[in-house]
């Protein structure tokens, strides 16, 4: 029983990834992403909290992806309260 609990808690710390089209970018400054909403290939919308600066990914860069229809990949972790927190962004 203890092994199952430990195994489950370790899984929660592994980042997941989603690739999709940028729908909404909210920023708290010119360099800081506060939230990002993507739509994956199945049509599911994902909203992530940013709360930081991600190398090479300003809000303006993400808006450029939206305008050009270029996908973005988000590596994220889910918090205990169900919030999807961005860990890394990639083209």
How many domains, in total, are found in the chain?
1
Which domain, by its residues, includes 35?
A: 2-90
Q: What is the pTM of this model?
A: 0.81
- 9, 35, 61, 17 alpha-carbon torsion, rounded to 10°: 20
> What distance in Å separates the CA atoms of residue 21 and residue 25, rounded to the nearest whole number?
11
- Give every CB contact of residue 20 below 8 A, 6+ residues apart in sequence: 38, 39, 40, 41, 46, 71, 72
Placement of tokens 């400054």 in the chain:
29
pLDDT for position 90 = 96
Half-sphere exposure of 37 toward its Cβ, with a 13 Å CA cutoff?
A: 7
Query: In CATH, what number is assigned to the domain containing residue 24?
Result: 2.40.50.140
Q: pLDDT tens, position by position, for the chain (91 residues)?
A: 343 333 333 345 567 999 999 999 999 999 999 999 999 999 999 999 998 888 889 999 999 999 999 999 999 999 999 999 999 999 9
């Amino acid at each position: 029983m203890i092994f199952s609990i430990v195994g489950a808690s370790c899984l929660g710390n592994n980042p997941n990834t989603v690739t999709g089209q940028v729908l909404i970018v909210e920023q708290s400054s010119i360099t800081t992403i506060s939230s990002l909403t993507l739509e994956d290939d199945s049509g599911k919308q994902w909203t992530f909290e940013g709360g930081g600066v991600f190398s090479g990914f300003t809000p303006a860069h993400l808006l450029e992806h939206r305008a050009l229809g270029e996908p973005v990949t988000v590596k994220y972790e889910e918090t205990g309260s169900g919030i999807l927190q961005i860990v890394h962004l990639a083209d």
